[in-house]
């Protein structure tokens, strides 16, 4: 590895780092801009938890450098504090305090006083969770149950609508986790977040582009599927694990109710057989269509439709986000089944337990009701 002399990044360089980070550049790409190795950039980003710090600015009530220069010249000319204050349009007490803080009449220097004032102004506001340990403990308990910070914040508002001391924003929870200097939530709790990262990252996108014969495009779905007005329309995909293992995930579009299906192999015959068996467990009124990504496992979709009467629609090539409810649910499931985990030995009973746990979590899109509550309403409506 080539040796590079250590440098100290200027504020302008740090600002450029944050600009490129927010645009989605990798740490290595940013480091190459400065002809540095990536650890030097990672350290700056990690200290702030991947969250761009607010730009510092001077208070409008503070003396400016030009005013401090005028104070210094006035002292050198032998003018009184009142005359200096009158010339600047400031109170005499302001000038007196300025001198007392910065060396007095004999030791006052404008540039040194200005820098000292800038350094003294750096007083971080104490984090709300650090001041309220009871609230911090409550947040920590929910994080251990794999609740997201946004779900926790909404649940607290719902439980304590009239007590702001028992509420906290999801951004405060994220910042307290990522910026450990706040000292309210332990670093170990990061492992319970959906994405096990030590700092906030820009969003990334996965791309798939597979061709399926006789595919029915997602663009041909009826309007009732698009607007989620009627229950019974599902989205599905495979959640991939280590050692060539996988499970099938199904999400109802209106209620976000989730079902998990054990799948021994990824070939289309095995997957379609498992989906047909699962479809038989629901009443016809609650399973009318299925939207899937363009994976080879769904190649035999016509047999699924013939056996169940359920229509299958496929996303456009390279657009898995068109089945967004399923993508979001798969992200939640990564808290229980991390990437690389061998899923081949996971029993169906365990999958049912995880699905139940997920279905009982409140969701923002449902007004912070749970999918289980909304799905129960649909079941009751069909008798």
Kindly write down the DSSP assignment for every residue of 238-260, as one continuous string: EEE-BTT-EEEEEEETTT--EEE
Task: Decide which of 54 and 211 is more confident.
Answer: 54
**Measured in Å, how far apart are the chain's first and last C-alpha atoms?**
70
User: CATH homologous superfamily of domain 218-381?
Assistant: Ribonuclease H-like superfamily/Ribonuclease H (3.30.420.10)
Q: For residue 365, give both structure tokens.
A: 């899109």
What is the Cβ-side half-sphere exposure of residue 272, based on CA atoms within 13 angstroms?
A: 19
Q: Which residue in 179, 186, 191 sits closest to 126, CA to CA?
A: 179
Q: Which residue in 32, 30, 36 sits closest to 18, CA to CA?
A: 30
Distance CA 355, CA 229 (A): 24
Model confidence at 73, in pLDDT bands (50, 70, 90)?
very high
Task: Decide which of 318 and 275 is more confident.
Answer: 275
pLDDT, position 8: 83
- For the segment 215-236, the average pLDDT, to the nearest whole number, is 90
pLDDT at 1 > cutoff 80: no
Cα–Cα separations (whole angstroms), residue 378 to 21, 176, 229, 285, 381 = 44, 39, 12, 10, 5
Domain residue extents for the chain: 11-47, 65-120, 128-192, 218-381
Kindly write down the DSSP assignment for every residue of 323-344, as one continuous string: GHHHHHHHHHHTTTS-TT-B-T
Task: Decide which of 182 and 321 is more confident.
Answer: 321
Q: For residue 87, give both structure tokens.
A: 């010339």
Q: Where are the alpha helices (DSSP H) in the chain?
A: 11-23, 27-33, 38-47, 65-76, 81-88, 92-101, 104-107, 110-120, 128-131, 133-144, 149-159, 170-178, 223-226, 268-279, 301-308, 324-333, 348-359, 371-381
pLDDT, position 205: 31
Check if the beta carbon of residue 298 is closer than 8 Å to that of residue 271: yes
Task: Decide which of 205 and 99 is more confident.
Answer: 99
Q: What is the pLDDT of residues 104-129, one digit of tens each?
A: 888 899 999 999 888 888 766 778 88
Residue in the block written with tokens 């456009």: 316
Task: Decide which of 166 and 214 is more confident.
Answer: 166
Work out the angle at residue 229's Cα, subtended by the Cα atoms of residues 314 and 234, and round it to the nearest 5 degrees. Answer: 35
Q: What is the pLDDT of residues 314-332, one digit of tens each?
A: 988 778 888 999 999 999 9
- For the segment 36-65, the average pLDDT, to the nearest whole number, is 84
pLDDT, position 181: 64
Distance CA 219, CA 232 (A): 18
What is the Cβ-side half-sphere exposure of residue 309, based on CA atoms within 13 angstroms?
A: 9
């Amino acid at each position: 590895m080539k040796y590079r002399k250590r440098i100290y990044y200027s504020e302008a360089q740090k600002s450029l780092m944050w600009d490129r980070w927010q645009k989605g550049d990798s740490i290595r790409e940013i480091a190459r801009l400065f002809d540095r190795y990536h650890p030097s950039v990672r350290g700056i980003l990690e200290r702030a938890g991947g969250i761009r710090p607010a730009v510092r600015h001077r208070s409008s009530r503070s003396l400016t450098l030009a005013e401090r220069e005028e104070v210094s010249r006035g002292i050198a000319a032998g003018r009184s504090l009142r005359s200096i204050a009158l010339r600047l349009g400031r109170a005499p007490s302001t000038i007196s305090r300025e001198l007392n803080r910065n060396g007095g009449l004999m030791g006052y220097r404008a540039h040194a006083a200005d820098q000292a004032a800038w350094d003294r102004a750096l007083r971080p506001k104490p984090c709300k969770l650090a001041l309220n340990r009871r609230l911090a403990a409550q947040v920590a308990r929910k994080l251990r149950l794999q609740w997201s910070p946004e779900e926790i914040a909404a649940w607290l508002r719902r439980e304590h609508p009239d007590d702001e001391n028992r509420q906290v924003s999801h951004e405060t929870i994220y910042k307290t986790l990522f910026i450990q200097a706040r000292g309210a939530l332990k670093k170990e709790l990061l492992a319970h977040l959906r994405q096990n990262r030590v700092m906030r990252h820009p969003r990334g996108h996965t791309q798939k582009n597979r061709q399926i014969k006789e595919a029915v495009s997602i663009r041909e779905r009826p309007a009732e599927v698009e607007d989620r007005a009627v229950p019974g329309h599902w989205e599905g995909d495979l959640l991939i694990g280590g050692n060539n293992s996988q499970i099938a995930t199904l999400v109802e579009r209106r209620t976000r109710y989730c079902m998990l299906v054990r799948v021994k192999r990824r070939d289309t015959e095995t997957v379609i057989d498992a989906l047909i068996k699962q479809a038989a467990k629901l009443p016809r009124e609650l399973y009318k269509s299925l939207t899937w990504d363009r994976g080879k496992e769904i190649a035999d979709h016509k047999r699924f439709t013939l056996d169940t009467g359920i229509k299958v629609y496929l996303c456009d090539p390279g657009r898995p986000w068109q089945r967004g409810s399923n993508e979001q649910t798969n992200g939640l499931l990564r808290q229980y089944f991390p990437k690389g985990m061998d899923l081949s030995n996971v029993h169906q009973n365990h999958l049912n337990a995880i699905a139940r746990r997920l279905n009982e979590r409140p969701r923002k899109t449902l007004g912070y009701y749970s999918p289980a509550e909304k799905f129960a309403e649909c079941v009751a409506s069909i008798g």
